[in-house]
Amino acid sequence: MIGAVISVLFGFFSEPVYEALYYSSGFSEAMHNNDAYGIVAIIAIAMTWGIAALYYYVINSVKFDRWYHWMSMLGVASVLTPVVCFIVVGNLLEGMDYPTASATFEIYNVIVSALLFTIASFSMRWWSSNCRHTPIPQ
Amino acid sequence: MKLFVFAIGGTGSRVLKSMIMLCAAGVRPVDANGRPLQDVEIVPVIIDPHKSNADLKRTERLLSAYSTMREKLYGKNANANGFFATKISSLKEVVSSSQVPLDDSFIFNLAAVENYKFRDFISYNTMNEPNQALTSLLFADYQLENKMSIGFVGSPNIGSVALNGVKDSNEFKAFANVFADGDRIFFISSIFGGTGAAGFPIIVKNIRQARNIDAKNKAFLQRAPIGGLTVLPYFSLMESEDKQDKRIDNADFVVKTQSALEYYNNTLTGNGRNAVNAIFYLGDHGHNAPYAYDPGDKRDQHDPAHLIELVGAMAPFKFMSMSDSELSDPATGQPLPTKAFEYGLEKDTDFVDFSSFGQETRQLVYRPLVKLHLLYIFLRTGLNGMIGQGFTEDAPKITREFTGTQFYRVLTQQFFDSYLEWLTELLHNRRHVTLFNEGEMEMAKAIHKVVTKKSLFGYKKVDNDVFKAEMNRLSRDNSSYGSNAELKLMDLFYTAAEKIITERYDNIN
């Protein structure tokens, strides 16, 4: 529950969070003007929670229940989410030329995605039959 | 209900060993509706003066291991469901008073017998000449010289004298005092040897004549429901290296059996006798394996397990399942005419597997034994790699330290070593009892002539991972184990096995 609240709060306050992590005058203003921070936050939340749900309830396998399996999913979520966000942001800011700033922003988004995936994991793992003790025992 | 099981002689110990295996697998007596009987407690009493007998020692060790594990799992509670469900207690454990000193052992103390030569036991040397002459007519020289610490060497005429003193022992008095209304008695003995053939009728006689003993419950004892497994010849003996040594001779087995059956008919089971409420006859004359010659002083009497012992071990369950009205007159409480049972395989073959048994036997033992065997494989190949994951992390946790506990060591080493030895002996005896494929540690291939069900891509999988997944699920939904990690492990596996066997194996019923 706390994890869900944190994620929702992040959705609402994504702009100050992202700007606190990375601010570049032209790029950040363009992100603000196009409401892109909110969209990126929603994508990040949806993807990290989705990948966590995939791990705990779809894969949910005794062959994939060790901490390093979870770490691999963390890696997937932390890479895939910024990649998708990078593409979406590229489309939103079409015509504006911020490739370097956008890429740098996504590096910070890796950290955000990793945190969101961790929060999602610890929020939903309780009911997983095989992975509820992953990455660390409850 | 307490069932006092008197296991007499070498056959008694061996059948009891098979019975322990069945109890460990979770086999329980059921009522007419197939529901497990409640409050059952088995009190085995091994009667055998030959204490160095390896079969006796193996059974005693197994009984101790069973008790240790059972107490850890279920405490003193008589009602349980799962592996080791049936409570097995020693006589000392069920005797509440300390009026009579007893060894905390499953073995009847026969010190009054076993320390003597038979000649000294009957005070031959102090007899007058006519009595000595009469005694010499009744007993051969080798019988008079027999040291009874090696048993009665196939001589029921020695046993019938020596065991007559059983009624004066502390054990018998304790048994007579603790026996209560509703309890039952079962005897396991062979009829072609010495100790069992003699011990069974003598102890029955002493029970039926309980009015002569000083016991508070003697009225119950006198009309106690008594069952007996009488094992007819099912093995033979190789010739002695010493050609002169004919103390036990195969050629006598059938004659001795015929004589004893006649005697039983006249005293225990025949018309108007009814001293025994139910008697179960078992034998395997055509397929008997020759065992090494051993009257008791040649080797350690380490005889291999046999199909007859496995089948015989089911007789006490059948006896417990019989209602009171089947055994005794409800109005008077007196025994009804003796009910006699025989046993036949569904298919008479030298290569016995589960399909060779009849439906009633399969219903009783098939699933429990499969579960026990899968547990054996799981503990030997699976659990260690699972510690720190899944169900082992739910409270109560199953940690690395758990595998060093007395319970775990007794289960995985002492008990399962004995189990494997038992299976191997059954397999390599003349009747090859192949319940499970020897050495096969793949669960899907372990049960002889049984495959897993077909799936879309081949056959359904049964392995440690399948068990782990099911136990994970069960553990998530069940938090009723308190701090008993032993019970958690065994109960989760038992419940998981029930589901997996039903869903994934073909025709285990």
Mean pLDDT of B110-126: 77
Among the listed residues B424, B410, B277, the one whose alpha carbon sits nearest the alpha carbon of residue B341: B277
Q: Is the pLDDT of residue A51 over 90?
A: yes
Query: B263: which DSSP letter?
Result: H
Is B429 found in the same domain as B294?
Answer: no
Q: How far apart are CA B15 and CA B55, in angstroms?
A: 10
| Boundary of a domain, candidates B343, B370, B399 | B343
Q: Is the pLDDT of residue B98 over 60?
A: no
Averaged pLDDT of chain B? 88
Calculate the CA dihedral of residues B473, B478, B481, B484 and round it to 10 degrees.
Answer: 10
| Boundary of a domain, candidates B282, B314, B343 | B343
**Which residues between 10 and 29 in chain A have a beta carbon less than 8 angstroms from any beta carbon of chain B?**
none
For residues A79 and B245, which has the higher predicted lDDT (pLDDT)? A79
| Boundary of a domain, candidates B343, B377, B410 | B343
Averaged pLDDT of chain A? 94
List B44's β-bridge partners, or say none. B5
Q: Which of A62, A129, A133 sits opposite B393 (nearest CB)?
A: A133
Q: Which of B388, B393, B476 sits opposite A129 (nearest CB)?
A: B476
Q: What is the CATH number of the domain that holds B74?
A: 3.40.50.1440
Tally the domains of chain B.
2
| Mutation for B interface: A61, A62, A65, A133, most B CBs within 10 A | A62
A98, A32 Cβ separation under 8 angstroms = no
Report the 10 Å Cβ neighbour count for B481. Answer: 17
Residues of chain B with C-beta less than 8 angstroms from the C-beta of A134: 389
Mean pLDDT of A16-39: 93
Which tens digit of pLDDT belongs to each residue from B344-396?
998 888 999 999 999 999 999 999 999 999 999 999 999 999 999 999 999 99
Query: Does residue B142 fall inside a structural domain?
Result: no
For residue B459, the SS3 value is strand
Residues of chain A with C-beta less than 8 angstroms from the C-beta of B472: 62, 129-130
Query: How far does the CA of residue B399 sit from the closest CA of chain A (Å)?
Result: 12
Q: Is the pLDDT of residue B84 over 80?
A: yes
Query: Does residue B138 fall inside a structural domain?
Result: no
| E-only strand ranges, B381-503 | 432-433, 454-455, 458-459
Q: What is the pLDDT of residue B298?
A: 57
The secondary structure element, H or E, covering residue B279 is strand B278-282
- Residue pairs spanning A and B at CB distance below 8 A: 30
Is B372 found in the same domain as B465?
Answer: yes
Find the residue in A nearest to B391 (Cα).
A130
Q: What is the pLDDT of residue B144?
A: 79
Query: Does residue B117 fall inside a structural domain?
Result: no
* Residue B463 touches chain A, beta carbons under 8 Å: no
* Residue B476 touches chain A, beta carbons under 8 Å: yes
In our burial notation (b when 16+ CB lie closer than 10 A, e otherwise), range B276-292 reads bbbbbbbbbeebbeebe
For residues B252 and A131, which has the higher predicted lDDT (pLDDT)? A131
As a whole-number percent, the residues of chain B with pLDDT over 70 amount to 91
Mean pLDDT of B76-88: 93
| Mutation for A interface: B399, B472, B499, most A CBs within 10 A | B472
For tokens 């938090």, the residue is B479
Query: Does residue B140 fall inside a structural domain?
Result: no
For residues B493 and A3, which has the higher predicted lDDT (pLDDT)? B493
CA geometry: angle at B298 spanning B294 and B302, to 5°?
Answer: 60
* Residue B468 touches chain A, beta carbons under 8 Å: yes
Is B366 found in the same domain as B230?
Answer: no
| Mutation for A interface: B392, B393, B467, most A CBs within 10 A | B393
Query: Does residue B149 fall inside a structural domain?
Result: no
B13, B55 Cβ separation under 8 angstroms = yes
Q: Which of A66, A129, A138 sits opposite B389 (nearest CB)?
A: A66
Which tens digit of pLDDT belongs to each residue from B204-244?
998 998 887 777 778 888 889 999 999 998 877 666 666 66
CB contact under 8 A, B473 and A138: no
* Residue B472 touches chain A, beta carbons under 8 Å: yes
For residues B319 and B233, which has the higher predicted lDDT (pLDDT)? B319
Residue B356 has which token pair? Answer: 């060779």
Q: What is the pLDDT of residue B183?
A: 95
CB contact under 8 A, A138 and B465: no
**Which residues between 400 and 439 in chain B have a beta carbon less than 8 angstroms from any beta carbon of chain A?**
none
Residues of chain B with C-beta less than 8 angstroms from the C-beta of A65: 389-390
What string of H, E and C letters represents the secondary structure of B7-73? EEHHHHHHHHHHHHHHHHHCCCCECCCCCECCCCEEEEEEECCCCCCHHHHHHHHHHHHHHHHHHHH
Residue A117 has which token pair? Answer: 């995936």
Is B329 found in the same domain as B383?
Answer: no
Residues of chain A with C-beta less than 8 angstroms from the C-beta of B469: 61-62, 129-130
Which tens digit of pLDDT belongs to each residue from B136-156?
888 888 777 777 666 666 677
Q: Is the pLDDT of residue A60 over 90?
A: yes
For residue B402, the SS3 value is helix
pLDDT grade, residue B46 (50/70/90)?
very high
For residues B111 and B410, which has the higher predicted lDDT (pLDDT)? B410
* Residue A64 touches chain B, beta carbons under 8 Å: no
* Residue A68 touches chain B, beta carbons under 8 Å: no
CB contact under 8 A, A133 and B389: yes
Q: What is the pLDDT of residue B29?
A: 93
Residues of chain B with C-beta less than 8 angstroms from the C-beta of A69: none
Report the 10 Å Cβ neighbour count for B97. Answer: 8
Is B296 found in the same domain as B274?
Answer: yes
Residues of chain A with C-beta less than 8 angstroms from the C-beta of B396: none
Mean pLDDT of B451-471: 95
Is B434 found in the same domain as B338?
Answer: no
Q: Of B110-124, B421-435, B440-454, give the lowest mean pLDDT range.
A: B110-124
Query: Does residue B253 fall inside a structural domain?
Result: yes
Find the residue in A nearest to B478 (Cα).
A129
Q: Is the pLDDT of residue B291 over 60?
A: yes
Residues of chain B with C-beta less than 8 angstroms from the C-beta of A62: 389-390, 465, 468-469, 472
Residues of chain B with C-beta less than 8 angstroms from the C-beta of A56: none
Q: How far apart are CA B257 and CA B315, in angstroms?
A: 20
Find the residue in A nearest to B389 (Cα).
A133
For residues B295 and B46, which has the higher predicted lDDT (pLDDT)? B46
Q: Is the pLDDT of residue B108 over 60?
A: yes
Q: What is the pLDDT of residue B159?
A: 77
Query: B264: which DSSP letter?
Result: H
CB contact under 8 A, B472 and A130: yes
Q: What is the pLDDT of residue B242?
A: 67
3-state helix, strand, coil in chain A (%, to 5): 80, 0, 20
Q: How far apart are CA B379 and CA B377, in angstroms?
A: 6
Is B376 found in the same domain as B338?
Answer: no
Q: Is the pLDDT of residue B297 over 60?
A: no
Find the residue in A nearest to B474 (Cα).
A129
Q: Is the peptide bond before B396 cis (omega within 30 degrees of 0)?
A: yes
Is B336 found in the same domain as B430?
Answer: no
B186, B4 Cβ separation under 8 angstroms = yes
CB contact under 8 A, A133 and B390: yes
Q: Is the peptide bond before B49 cis (omega within 30 degrees of 0)?
A: no
| Mutation for B interface: A130, A134, A138, most B CBs within 10 A | A130
Is B284 found in the same domain as B405?
Answer: no
User: Do the interacting molecules here have an ipTM over 0.85?
Assistant: yes
Residue B456: CA count within 13 A, CB half-sphere: 0
Among the listed residues B130, B97, B131, B135, the one whose alpha carbon sits nearest the alpha carbon of residue B119: B135
Residues of chain B with C-beta less than 8 angstroms from the C-beta of A66: 389
Q: What is the pLDDT of residue B287?
A: 63
Q: What is the pLDDT of residue B195?
A: 83
* Residue A2 touches chain B, beta carbons under 8 Å: no
Find the residue in B nearest to A134 (Cα).
B389
CB contact under 8 A, B469 and A138: no
Query: Does residue B409 fall inside a structural domain?
Result: yes
CB contact under 8 A, B388 and A127: no
Is B492 found in the same domain as B446?
Answer: yes
Q: Is the pLDDT of residue B160 over 80?
A: no
Is B360 found in the same domain as B339?
Answer: no
Q: What is the pLDDT of residue B245?
A: 63
Report the 10 Å Cβ neighbour count for B347. Answer: 12
In our burial notation (b when 16+ CB lie closer than 10 A, e otherwise), range B396-433 reads bbbeeebeeeebbebbbebbbebbbebbebbbebbbeb
Q: What is the pLDDT of residue B296?
A: 57
CA geometry: angle at B165 spanning B164 and B170, to 5°?
Answer: 135
Q: What is the pLDDT of residue A123?
A: 95
Which tens digit of pLDDT belongs to each residue from B397-408?
999 999 999 999
* Residue B385 touches chain A, beta carbons under 8 Å: no
Is B285 found in the same domain as B164?
Answer: yes
Range of the domain at B44: 2-112+159-343
pLDDT grade, residue B290 (50/70/90)?
confident
Among the listed residues A22, A58, A26, A53, the one whose alpha carbon sits nearest the alpha carbon of residue A40: A22
* Residue B358 touches chain A, beta carbons under 8 Å: no
The secondary structure element, H or E, covering residue B157 is helix B156-162
